[in-house]
Amino acid sequence: MRSIVWFRHNLRLSDNAPLRLAAEQGAVLPVYVHDPALSLFSDTARRVWRSKSLESLDSSLRSRKNRLFVFQGSTQEILRRMAAHIRAQKIYAYRGLTSEDRALEDILSGSLAEMGVQLCLTGFDTLFPPDRASEGRSSPWKIFTPYYRFCRSAFLPEAPLPPPVRVDPCPDFGGLPGETDFRQGETPFLTGLAPGEVGAMNRLQEFVETALHGYATWRDFPGEDFTSRLSPHLAAGEISVREIFWTVQESKAPEEDRQKFLEELGWREFSSHLLFHHPEMLVEPLRKEFDSFEWLVDEERFAVWSQGRTGIPLVDAGMRELAQTGWMHNRVRMVVGSFLVKNLGISWQDGEKWFADHLIDYDPANNAASWQWVAGCGTDSAPYFRIMNPVLQSQRYDPMARYIRRFLPELSALPDVQVHTLGRCSISKGSALPYRAMDYPEPCVDLTASREAALKRYRRIRSTPLMP
């Protein structure tokens, strides 16, 4: 039997059900398609990472006497053409979460059936099945805690599958037309990082042996190294969430640390659950009263936010970390998000789009759910009137200003207290601050006044009925 394995967001050999099933049944044609029609946002940074991930996957397949075939264009047309070209009987793949993914699967299934080819979808590449978690309920879960409690009791994650020993290639039919060269040159953006399955496995082991110990206490402190840094690998599917779950669950780390990290994986699952049941969440607020919210359109303010020139040190440090590394600490993501939508009054959709384009760990479900959480318009959100104060956040979570100084070197000579308070006081032109600190901008808004303006906008919609 000849099969195509359609790699989507599962760029790995281990714990890959579609690949495992196809390899057990005969010859395999591994295919990846970059289909612009399926990308809501440009996700430029993630595509840089993905090019290296595809290169790693191709290398792994070549070690098994096969290789990866990469195309760009219409997924339906390419898969049909490849199926006809190699006379495939089946195409294996994971199911997708978005409405565009599901529409494509329906159309593709019918058009392949006309050719005598079966589309075999092996479930979701998630820890908990998003389609089954709400079975027997009148509506999908809206609140994380009961959702997570139910899933932990109802679904024991399966053990990860080992990689196939063999991935036999299909016979050579004279080459495959339309291949795309996915390789890029050295990218300074990824210096020190290791995209690919091997890099993901190494990163998991390093995290479990080091930063997982103390994770519950220190994960919110951006100046400390207690995050897993697994999110880019997960977003590319270089490692499965089941592999991470069982490695952490069976580690020797303290119970508090293990369970806190698994809960963070649970938030990722909850985002997938929300997207599956509410595909509109990528562009529309889940709380419908926010349809009439008075967001401000201010290109100048958005520019200073996106470029890290707000004059609020923790916000600027976060945005410069994003620009320089393609990543941002999770606590800081919440702070910069709250500042954009509440202190600056700019819509969460604008922030969502910016993050989608600049994050190497961009994940549609996570990104949309997180922005809606911060903006207060999701199903399980921080209330809109809970507005993060970036000065208090930096004082609490970066007390020695290590994180801020790392990305704002112009403030390196200032004492800790002054670094934190820059965001709520003006820098006097006649002060004795070090010269480079004088280059740091004035705060673009007054934190107290902008908070009151945000609450005033919120009061205008709060009487609207909540999402049913």
What are 331-370's pLDDT values in tens digits?
Answer: 999 999 999 999 999 999 999 999 999 999 999 999 999 9
Architecture of domain 126-159+197-277: Alpha Horseshoe (1.25)
Choose between 215 and 464: higher pLDDT. 215
Cβ-based neighbours of 227, under 8 Å, separated by 6 or more = 211, 219, 329, 330
Superfamily of domain 2-125: HUPs (3.40.50.620)
Q: What per-residue confidence (pLDDT) applies to 174?
A: 57
Q: What per-residue confidence (pLDDT) applies to 436?
A: 53
Q: With contact defined as beta carbons under 8 Å apart, do 391 and 422 qualify?
A: no
Distance CA 454, CA 158 (A): 45
C-alpha distance across the termini of the chain, in Å = 49
Q: For all residues of the chain together, what is the average pLDDT?
A: 92
Show me where the domains of the chain are located.
2-125, 126-159+197-277, 288-459
272-306: pLDDT as tens digits: 999 999 999 999 999 988 999 999 999 999 999 99
Q: What per-residue confidence (pLDDT) applies to 37?
A: 86
Return phi, psi of residue 120, to 5°.
Answer: -105, 105
Count of H-run helices and E-run strands, the chain: 20, 5
Distance CA 402, CA 12 (A): 36
364-396: pLDDT as tens digits: 999 999 999 999 999 877 677 789 999 999 999
Domain 288-459 listed as CATH 2.40.40.20: no
Q: What average pLDDT does range 177-200 have in this prediction?
A: 80
Q: With contact defined as beta carbons under 8 Å apart, do 258 and 219 qualify?
A: no
Give the residue ranges of DSSP H helices in 182-329: 197-209, 215-218, 231-236, 241-249, 255-277, 299-306, 313-325
Please determine, for residue 323, whether its predicted confidence score (pLDDT) is greater than 80: yes
Distance CA 16, CA 39 (A): 23
Q: What per-residue confidence (pLDDT) applies to 468?
A: 37
Distance CA 297, CA 346 (A): 6
Choose between 439 and 257: higher pLDDT. 257
Q: What per-residue confidence (pLDDT) applies to 19?
A: 98
Predicted confidence band of residue 230 (pLDDT cuts 50, 70, 90): very high
Dihedral over Cα of 461, 462, 463, 466: its sign: positive
Please determine, for residue 466, whether its predicted confidence score (pLDDT) is greater than 60: no
Cβ-based neighbours of 452, under 8 Å, separated by 6 or more = none
Q: What average pLDDT does range 212-233 have in this prediction?
A: 97
Q: What per-residue confidence (pLDDT) applies to 467?
A: 41
Predicted confidence band of residue 194 (pLDDT cuts 50, 70, 90): very high
Rg (CA), the chain: 24
Q: How far is CA 361 from CA 159, 160, 195, 232, 355, in A?
A: 25, 22, 11, 4, 9
Q: What per-residue confidence (pLDDT) applies to 421?
A: 87
pTM confidence score: 0.93
User: What letter represents residue 72's amino acid?
Assistant: Q
Q: Quick one: what percent of the chain has pLDDT higher than 90?
A: 82
One fold for 2-125 and 126-159+197-277: no
Task: Annotate 130-149 with DSSP letters as a single string.
Answer: TTTTTTTSSS---SHHHHHH
